[in-house]
Amino acid sequence: MAYPYVHEREVRVISRNFGDPAARTLDGYRERDGYRGLERALEIGPAAVIDEVKASGLRGRGGAGFPTGLKWSFMPKAAVKPHYLLCNADESEPGTFKDRELIRWDPHQLIEGCLIAAYAMGSRHAYIYLRGEFFEASQVIARAVEEAYEGGFAGEDILGSGTHIDVTVHVGAGAYICGEETGLMNSLEGRRGEPRVKPPFPAAVGVYSMPTTINNVETLAAVPHIVRYGGEWYRQWGTDKSPGTKLFCVSGHVEKPGNYELPLGFPMMELIEDVCGGVAEGRALKSVIPGGSSVPLMDVEDCRECTLCYEGVEAAGSMLGCASVIVMDDRTNIVREVRRMVQFYAHESCGQCTPCREGTSWMTQVLRRIEAGRGAESDLDTLLDMSAQMTGTTICVLSDSAAAPVVSSIEKFRDEYLALIHGGATAEVA
Amino acid sequence: MSAPTHVPFRNPGWAGNTGEFDLTEADVRGTDFVGERPLDGGHESAAPSYPYMLPDKDPEAVLFEGPYRERFEKIRSRYPTARGALIPALNLAQELRGHISPETMDEVAALLGLASAEVRGTVTFYTMYNKRPVGRFLIQVCTNISCSLCKGEEVLDAFLRHTDTELGETSEDGDFTVIEVECLAACGFPVAVQINSRYYENVLPDDVSALLQRLREHGE
């Protein structure tokens, strides 16, 4: 198959149609056994669908890793008010590039996942919230949704079952914070994408003040397979606490970057050395960010024993996040890259909470000063002090995310900071 | 890369220049599947997504008439509140006019029965709303972590150099506006560049001149 890099150790469940343009159409998807999960869901009923997802142990793929079946079960059983399902396709965590591929190669798989989830939670309307930059992906999914309506899989009386579920493709307008679930709800209501205080949680008071569940694209893409083949089937891969397969988005200094679907619990070094062909140009490894820019950096020592599952990465001192593995070789200027990440958070802070709004900008300034060779050793204490005040003090975790790379890089790569501080901007840091 | 002026810039939109790759650009982008999207937005479920970006913007275009009025009505029908339709309605206005002026905000507010201040609050929150006119091609270069590791800033510099502009400024011929953008979610294929609605991936500093030439001659 042509998906540019495929590896024999991959287990392609949700990525099985990557690189296969014929699978985009409704007919192509049906020929590849599409919509069988939805058929089975309609047969077994909503409660059994939730049980199946619970049994699979599927955990939310957007970063937090919350058990999906449990999340679904928080929705009120009686549909007194309208229920909403939101699909979070506002993919914008730096290092993450799986959702766009899932949407553009296999749009019907996502639609099927949305329909099953909406059915299980008694929701009449599902919104697929795409980030505004995804024009191309939005066109593919919009066409596929139209096909699903034409084919009787969406809209009124789905497959003659009497179930009515509408699906709407919604396109945002550019803001990282709209990937936060309550920010996304505000954005879908036409407001500024500012996160809300929880509680109340979305399952009680969500979008339009109605019970709402928000799931990541990758989570929903796995649902049709779980419902069709059963929760136990899904558990044949992964670990006890992290069952199933996961897309690993590998970027940075590797020979073969890309999306690789692997069983959770896969060893980090084998991902880099074997699956991705090693560090680019035969260089040595310096640092890895395992879960997108919001998680702590790891050094080579941390990576050696690390297995890529929720508990494995945590044991290595970081977080799996959305499994966006960013690889940095021995020439990387860590201070510069950390500054670039923090600068991003300063740009994307919504400005509601002072520690985040001010802290991200101040940290960027201090890091720029160090990068330019004008820093002092006391700046490191200032950064750590600010990080402490930015962690756990705000409505959402954007500010915690900005602090994570700063704290971990000072802890693991203090020498590089000191080299710039004492040796000036031209110091040999690598 | 050989001398860029002689090589037509080739980029299927993903992995393109580097992968073990035998698909066409249309296959990757799904162009055939999508087909020509109707101006009225097609089925209501799809109306809130952009059918496409019009090559020629008209800052005086009426909000909304003809097929655009139909699309606006379809959008309105998909949200339980008028305010819910605000972002898709603004997107539609920008598609026609190219940017969102204070007057456009007032008009959209009137169409949806919202206060102008509410609309202004929303518009100023989101980066994709151009608050002033931009060039025929809006070039957004990612310099976030994964692209930064792979020459993101050099690519940005190359775009600025070849268009002879400063960041955010429109070139004299009105063709190009170059800005820096945060992560485009194409991190495996750096450097990611978005030009109007289209992604270009694996862009290296040496590709920039050929890419600009292709835009001038063939459009997006």
Query: Which B residues, 105 through 134, put their C-beta within 8 Å of a C-beta on chain A?
Result: 114, 121-122, 125-129
Q: Is A123 on the interface with B (CB under 8 A)?
A: no
B53 contacts A135? CB cut-off 8 A: yes
- CA A333 to CA A429: how far, in whole Å? 6
Reply yes or no on whether the pLDDT at B187 is more than 70: yes
Min distance B164 CA to chain A CA atoms (Å): 25
pTM of the model: 0.96
Contacts of A172 in chain B (CB under 8 A): 87, 126, 128
Whether B143 and A140 lie within 8 Å, measured CB to CB: no
- CATH code of A334-423, in short, is 1.20.1440.230
Classify domain A245-329 at the CATH topology level. Answer: Ubiquitin-like (UB roll) (3.10.20)
Per-residue pLDDT at B7 exceeds 90: no
Q: What is the pLDDT of residues B46-100, one digit of tens each?
A: 999 976 667 788 999 999 999 999 999 999 999 999 999 999 999 999 999 999 9
Contact (CB<8Å) B185/A289? no
Is A19 at the interface with chain B, CB within 8 A? yes
Separation of alpha carbons A254 and A258, rounded Å: 9
Q: Do B149 and A332 touch (CB under 8 A)?
A: yes
pLDDT in tens, A165-182: 999 999 999 999 999 999
Q: Do A136 and B197 touch (CB under 8 A)?
A: yes
Coil, helix or strand at residue A48: helix
User: Residue B95 corresponds to which tokens in the numbers above?
Assistant: 């598609």
Query: What band does B25 get if pLDDT is binned at 50, 70 and 90?
Result: confident
Which whole number is the average pLDDT over A391-415? Answer: 97
| Element of type H or E holding B123 | helix B116-125
Interface test with B, best of A251, A285, A297, A325 (most B CBs within 10 A): A251
Count other Cβ atoms within 10 Å, centred on residue B58. Answer: 10
Quick one: pLDDT at residue B14?
62
CA-nearest residue of chain A to B148?
A337
Asked if A143 lies within 8 A of B88 by C-beta distance, the reply is no
Q: Which string of b and e fits A408-429 if b means at least 16 CB within 10 Å? A: bbbebbeebbbbbbeeeeeeeb
CB of A218 within 8 Å of any CB in chain B?
Answer: no
Query: Which residue ranges make up each domain of chain B?
Result: 4-28+134-218, 36-127
Contacts of B131 (CB under 8 A, 6+ apart): B99, B100, B101, B123, B124
- Percent share of chain A, pLDDT over 90: 96
For residues A230-244, one letter each, b for 16 or more C-beta atoms within 10 angstroms of the residue's C-beta and e for the rest, the string is: ebebbbebbbeebbb
Distances (CA, A) of A329 to A89, A272, A422: 31, 12, 23
Contact A139/B at CB under 8 A: yes
Distance (Å, whole) CA B42 – CA A143:
9
CB contact under 8 A, A258 and B85: no
Tokens of B120: 């202004």
Contact A251 B30 (CB under 8 A): no
- Give the fold, CATH level 3, of B4-28+134-218: Glutaredoxin (3.40.30)
pLDDT digits (tens, 9 = 90+) for A129-168: 999 999 999 999 999 999 999 999 999 999 999 999 999 9
Interface membership of B36 toward A (CB under 8 Å): no
Question: How many beta-carbon contacts under 8 Å exist across A and B?
Answer: 223
Q: How does pLDDT run across A51-104, given as a tens digit for each residue? A: 999 999 999 999 999 999 999 999 999 879 999 999 999 999 999 999 999 999
In the numeric block, the tokens 């296969």 are attached to A20
pLDDT-wise least confident of A261-270, A309-318, A356-365, B10-19: B10-19
Q: Which residue of A has its CA nearest to B85?
A: A190
Query: Where does the pLDDT of residue B220 fall: very low under 50, low under 70, confident under 90, or very high at 90 and above?
Result: confident
Could you tell me the residue ranges of all domains in chain A?
21-234, 245-329, 334-423
CATH node for A21-234: 3.40.50.11540
Cα separations in angstroms, A307 against A41, A153, A237, A311, A342: 34, 40, 14, 9, 27
pLDDT the model gives residue B20: 65
pLDDT at B18: 63
Alpha carbons B32 and B13: distance in angstroms, whole number: 15
Subunit contact B149:A252, Cβ cutoff 8 A: yes
Mark yes or no for CB contact B50/A5 under 8 Å.
Answer: no
pLDDT digits (tens, 9 = 90+) for A202-224: 999 999 999 999 999 999 999 99
- Residue of B14, B149, B184 with shortest CB distance to A337: B149
Q: pLDDT at residue B1 above 50?
A: no
Residue-wise pLDDT tens digits, A4-44? 788 999 999 999 999 999 999 999 999 999 999 999 999 99
pLDDT digits (tens, 9 = 90+) for A373-392: 999 999 999 999 999 999 99
